A = this chain, B = another copy of it.
């Protein structure tokens, strides 16, 4: 499964107003705590991969993300599975030699518009971002083009950001 994704910095209040004008459906507000890991035998910051446990109230989500597929967007292969107990999974990864790379904590509002999910993220330590996402089984260029058009419709003309929140946080120090 390919996750097609673009991301920009944004004033979240303005974008939310614009989303509602365009008829987007509000899908809920979440507080997410993500723990990222690095591999003991290849540096994910060089191989452009990511391994993440999302801690939720009663369960967790375990995700692997492959290298980004084009020089513009954040589109990449993603495999995600639900786990009953994220703390136990963290224990398994540490036993296997994986190293904790850092936490990303954010308050996220989710909207749905056409075939896209639009996330308004208030990231602790970084500020406001908009992510536009969809899934593709095969070629995704057309979907990426539509995601870029949606950015424009939302009045978002800032530079596309390809770095992850973790990378931005680590760069900030």
Contact = CB atoms under 8 A, between A and B. Distances in A.
B97 A39 contact: yes
Number of copies of this chain that the complex holds: 2
Interface of A: 39-42, 49, 51, 62-64, 66, 79-85, 88-89, 91-92, 95-97
Nearest to A87: B81
B41 A92 contact: no
A66 B97 CA distance: 12
Contacts of A41: 40-41, 97
A62 B92 contact: yes
A165 B137 CA distance: 38
A82 B79 contact: no
A63 B91 CA distance: 11
B83 A62 contact: yes
Contact of A92 (B40, B81, B91): B81
A81 B81 CA distance: 12
Contact of A80 (B49, B66, B82, B88): B88
A79 B91 contact: yes
A84 B82 contact: yes
A92 B79 CA distance: 6
A63, A64, A81, A89 interface centre (most CB from chain B within 10 Å): A81
Nearest to A41: B41
